[in-house]
Every structure is written in structure tokens, then in C-alpha cells.
Amino acid sequence: MKMTWRWYGEGNDNITLDHVRQIPGVMGIVWSLHDKVAGEVWEMERIQQAADQITAKGFSPAVVESVNIHDDIKIGLPTRDKYIDIYIDTIRKLSKVGVKVICYNFMPIFDWTRTELYKELPDGSNALFYEKAAITDNPQAMVDRILSGSKGFTMPGWEPERLAKLDELFAAYKPVTEDVLLENLKYFLERIIPVCEEVDVKMAIHPDDPAWPIFGLPRIIRSREHIRKFLALVDSPYNGLTFCTGSLGTSAENDLPAMIREFHDRIHFAHIRNVKRFDNGDFIEVSHRGQDGSVDVAEVVRAYHECGFQGYVRPDHGRHLWGEEANCRPGYGLYDRAMGIMYLLGVWDSLDNGSRGNR
């Protein structure tokens, strides 16, 4: 597997590429033009500049996360073709700097959702937390709660410019059922996948997080059955998955190692992280070590190893340690993600050596 690190750019979160160089085993940087909103043109000059910055430090720029999908595409409005054309233009440009995988999602209105960004754990660290009871049919209350504790950061899909149009967005999505959303995703894929095949860039959809509908909005990438339907929309190796154990792991019904074994040839990018589920539907993100949560991370890595996985992987969200939450993006601190890499590589190395190893 090819170990990578998600990075938000110099001067962002106080994490530099020189920090990342000191983490053994990291081969690539997962990047994006993070100021670009969905549907905006990506200029070749800026793409090249970002890629050059990454390669200058000895890393590969092969994975971009994310090129976000405009709402008009998800809703299926007549204007969607314009935004799909822009998306295709971005795919072609990214291929020129060596990008091989684009991670994206098809979640309506909101991206991944949490109710607290810095919930304290028993060991004194803190992490992203989801309280089921806090998610109601009144999204404005949730918006206020997130923003009041954001410490200057916002979660994807919760940007102020989008929140200002929340009522308008909900009205636009009202006729969009699960079947309609799936059909709109098929339309999008039928347009872009031939281009991906031409320029050798694989698309890797990210699962819904959490793995169930919220605010009455449909979610279509949240279980084995949903993934089977998705992959059948366009049966091409370039139409694939970002398999996120944290997102899919929010549901106890998802057998993650079994899903990896079934879909491994369509998994282009792996997010590996751990969540601890509670009986009331709440969950919190914990360390990558399997015993600390509900995801058996060692078995997840074993499944990838057995399948001969050669794709890209990164430690996903981590806890915030030693006071770093004062200056880090929620879920994206330096220390716990670095320790996560060492845990994942340690399990992989033990499997290479023919033993299960200690968890």
C-alpha cells in the first residue's frame, strides 16, 4: 500500500511538509485547492504550483481530495452540464501533473457531520463527536452549535456561504429521493468516466458520514448493498471507492473486512480510522488502535494485505493531543495521525513477516 498524508497547505494548521517528511513511510501528499468552491474553475497555473511544492519535498501529488460536486449536478438541474464540463476540465488538468486518484462525495448539502469538534476523551485528549439526539429536523440549531465551537474552522459542507443559503438548498433538494440522487450520480459518471479512462485518473467516491440519512436527506453510499448499486452504475475500473472505515464504521451492520475483500479491486483510496460506537447511536473518534474503538483496524489492514492492496491509503481523522486543538483543523492534528501511520505500517509489516503481530 502507498501511505499518504492529507495536507492543507503551508501556513495552514501549523503543519509543514518538513513535518511530514519526518514521519516514516509517507510517500504521497493528499491535496486540493481548498479555497475552490464546488463548480469553480481550477487554473492550470495553481494546480502546477501546488504539485511542484509537493514534489520539491520528495512526495507524490497523485491523490486529490476533493474536487467537490456542484449541487446542480446532485439535484439534476438543467445547468448541471455546465458544471460537469468544468469538472472534466479539472480532471484533464490534474492528469497533467501526475494525479491518479480523485476523491469526492455525493452527499446532499452537508459533508461529514459531527455535533462537537473537541469532545474530551477519558485520557484527556479530545476528538470529533456525534450525538444522535442533537441531530433534529431543525438544521439551524445544529449549524449554530457547530459554528459556536468551531474555533475559526468549519467542517466541509458547513461553509458560511453555503449556510447563508440553507433554506434555499433544502427547498431545491426536496424532490430528490434516494433513487433520484442515484440516477443523478449515474448521469455524472457516464459523462466523466470515459474521460478518466482516457487520461488515466481514477474516481474514488467517499462514503456517507455518518452512514445513514440526516435531516431527511437521502444518502446512497453507506452499506454493502449501496456500494454494489453504485459500482454497477458505470462498470469501469475507473469508477471506484474511497473506502473509509470511519464513515462506514459508524454502522455496526457494516462488516468492513468482508467489504474490503469484496470490493478491493475497485478501492482506489483507503481512509483508515477508528470510531467508538455507543448503544444510543452516538459515536466518537478514537485512536487507530483497534481495542480503543469499534473498528478492528488490524483486521481491516489484514484484509487489504490478503488482497494484495497496492492503492493509496492515509490515516484519517485523529484525536487532538497535547493542546494542539488551539491551532489545528478539527480531526487533522499532527500527532495522532502520525502515530496512526506507525500503527498501520506496524500491522502491515507484521503481516509481511508472516505473523499476526500485536494489536
- What is the structure's pLDDT at 17? 95
Share the mean pLDDT of the chain: 91
**Segment 144-163 mean pLDDT:** 59
- What is the structure's pLDDT at 113? 87
Instruction: Give me the catalytic one of 268, 271, 288, 320.
Output: 271
274 DSSP β-pair partners: 286
Inter-residue contact 273 to 340 (CB < 8 Å): yes
- What is the structure's pLDDT at 144? 67
Q: What is the pLDDT of residues 66-98, one digit of tens each?
A: 999 999 999 999 999 999 999 999 999 999 999
Strands in 274-277's sheet, in edge-to-edge order, are 116-120, 126-130, 283-286, 274-277
Active-site residue, 19 included: no
> Does position 131 have pLDDT exceeding 50, yes or no?
yes
Could you tell me what percent of the chain has a pLDDT over 90?
Answer: 78
**Segment 231-256 mean pLDDT:** 97
Three cell numbers at 316?
484519517
Active-site residue, 271 included: yes
Residue 358, in any domain of the structure: no
pTM of the model: 0.93
Cis peptide upstream of residue 66 (ω within 30 degrees of 0): yes
Q: Lowest-confidence range among 28-42, 172-186, 197-211, 324-338?
A: 324-338
Could you tell me what percent of the chain has a pLDDT over 70?
Answer: 91
Instruction: Give me the catalytic one of 87, 317, 328, 336.
Output: 317
Note the helical H segments in the chain.
17-21, 44-55, 71-75, 80-95, 139-148, 160-163, 166-173, 178-199, 224-233, 245-248, 256-263, 297-306, 335-352
Angstrom distance (rounded) from CA 15 to CA 10: 7
Residue 357, in any domain of the structure: no
Instruction: Give me the catalytic one of 72, 208, 209, 316.
Output: 316
Instruction: Give me the catalytic one of 87, 118, 304, 332.
Output: 332
- What is the structure's pLDDT at 153? 46
> Does position 145 have pLDDT exceeding 90, yes or no?
no
Domain containing 144 equals 2-352
What angle, rounded to 10 degrees, do the helices at 297-306 and 256-263 form?
Answer: 20
Q: How many residues in total does the chain contain? A: 359
Active-site residue, 206 included: yes
CA angle, 155 then 160 then 166, to 5° = 95
Inter-residue contact 150 to 114 (CB < 8 Å): no
> Does position 150 have pLDDT exceeding 50, yes or no?
no
Q: How confident is residue 293, by pLDDT bands cut at 50, 70 and 90?
A: very high
- What is the structure's pLDDT at 165? 78
> Does position 136 have pLDDT exceeding 60, yes or no?
yes
> Does position 357 have pLDDT exceeding 50, yes or no?
no
Q: Lowest-confidence range among 21-30, 59-68, 151-160, 303-312?
A: 151-160
Assign residue 30 the CATH number of its domain.
3.20.20.150
What is the tally of structural domains in the chain?
1
Residue 359, in any domain of the structure: no
**Segment 106-135 mean pLDDT:** 90
Residue 31, in any domain of the structure: yes
> Does position 137 have pLDDT exceeding 70, yes or no?
no
Residue 224, in any domain of the structure: yes
Angstrom distance (rounded) from CA 317 to CA 300: 16
- What is the structure's pLDDT at 157? 58
Instruction: Give me the catalytic one of 206, 264, 268, 320.
Output: 206
- For residues 58 and 168, the model is more confident at 58
Active-site residue, 187 included: no
Residue 65, in any domain of the structure: yes
Instruction: Tell me which residue of 340, 339, 245 sits closest to 299, measured CA to CA.
Output: 245
Active-site residue, 316 included: yes
**Segment 96-103 mean pLDDT:** 98
> Does position 55 have pLDDT exceeding 80, yes or no?
yes
Residue 285, in any domain of the structure: yes
Residue 233, in any domain of the structure: yes
Q: How confident is residue 152, by pLDDT bands cut at 50, 70 and 90?
A: very low
**Segment 91-110 mean pLDDT:** 96
- 324: which residues sit within 8 A by CB, 6+ positions away? 333, 334, 335
**Segment 5-29 mean pLDDT:** 91
Instruction: Give me the catalytic one of 72, 244, 304, 343.
Output: 244
